[in-house]
Amino acid sequence: MTSANPQETLERLGISATTSPEPLRGGDIGQVWRVTTRQGDVLVKHADSEGLEAEADGLKALREADTGLIVPDIVGELPGALVMTYLPPARPDRHTHEAFGRGLRALHANTSTDHGWHRDNFAGTTPQINTCHEDGRVFQRECRLLPLAERCLHKKRMDQGLYDQLAGVANALESWLSDAPASLVHGDLWSGNVHFSTQGPALIDPAIYRHYPEADLALLELFGSPADAFYEAYWDGGMPDDWPRRRALFQLYPLLNHLYMFGGSYYQGVRSAIAQLPGH
């Protein structure tokens, strides 16, 4: 990581600051500042170099998807530093929530045959395996559930009994979950990474890959509930009949990640999700 000096970062990129850096919230895995420059307001982020390279890769993929959602422009990159356009926040209304729903549906309409991504990245600070598989159920088992459950077991975040139940769920996916094309997903779409800006709804801090679109939707519901207008625009009458079961499955991975990183209180959430799924 570069030294925590955003002014020095901007100087190295040839960007002239006109105000002192303003620290912002959201620096759980690094530090973030807002700075006014001659080129406009920017956000300077300092964190682990590999993590910022993966974030920049994800932002570029989101921009190329052309969904109508706002994605910060990358102004400059250095090892351990990423500079992006600053997006002023705004209070969302029904129209904004509808635009978010339509935009996310457009993102998920970008499909491919392979589940995964061309590089690994991170879920928070946890390495995220993105090895490509043609079958999404294999990807979910081999790149999501089992590797993270093994990390939790090794770190003594879960006992052998719960691990065996989760392995049973992972190995039973083919019995009920149909294979499907792989959608482009944000990958870490909790409410804090949906930014309602003056320009419209924006996506920030991606952990991008291709998989079932429910990976994004389930995480959106895990720590909050999107507005009804979002769902009306996103589903557009197409909500799957077994959404509660799919939600339980795709909430397992972020719950496991929180159990791995923070322990304690997330154990019961993992147990509850497993109890709703075949194979446990």
Under DSSP, is residue 108 helix (H, G, I), strand (E, B) or coil?
helix
pTM: 0.95
Q: Which residues of 83-102 are buried (b: 16+ CB within 10 A; e: fewer)?
A: bbbbbeeeebeeebbbbbbb
H or E element, residue 203 = strand 200-203
CA nearest neighbour of 183 among 112, 129, 249: 112
Instruction: Tell me the chain's radius of gyration from C-alpha atoms.
Output: 19
CATH topology of domain 6-85: Phosphorylase Kinase; domain 1 (3.30.200)
Active site residues: 188
Q: How confident is the model at residue 28 (pLDDT cuts 50, 70, 90)?
A: low
114: closest CA among 139, 146, 145?
A: 139
**What is the amino acid identity at position 262?**
F
Residue 271: band (very low, low, confident or very high) from pLDDT cuts 50, 70, 90: very high
Per-residue pLDDT reduced to its tens digit, 246-264 = 999 999 999 999 999 999 8
Identify which of 36, 55, 35, 39 has the alpha carbon closest to the alpha carbon of residue 47: 55
CATH code: domain 94-275 is 3.90.1200.10
Residue 174 forms beta bridges with which residues? Answer: none
Of 64, 66, 85, 63, nearest to 74 (Cα)? 85
pLDDT-derived band at 27 (thresholds 50, 70, 90) equals low
How remote is the C-alpha of 215 from its chain's centroid? 9
Look up tokens 């991008």; give the residue. Answer: 208
pLDDT tens for 126-177 read 999 999 999 999 999 999 999 999 999 999 999 999 999 999 999 999 999 9
pLDDT tier, 26 (very low <50, low <70, confident <90, very high otherwise): low
Domain boundaries, the chain: 6-85, 94-275
pLDDT tier at 1, thresholds 50, 70, 90 = very low
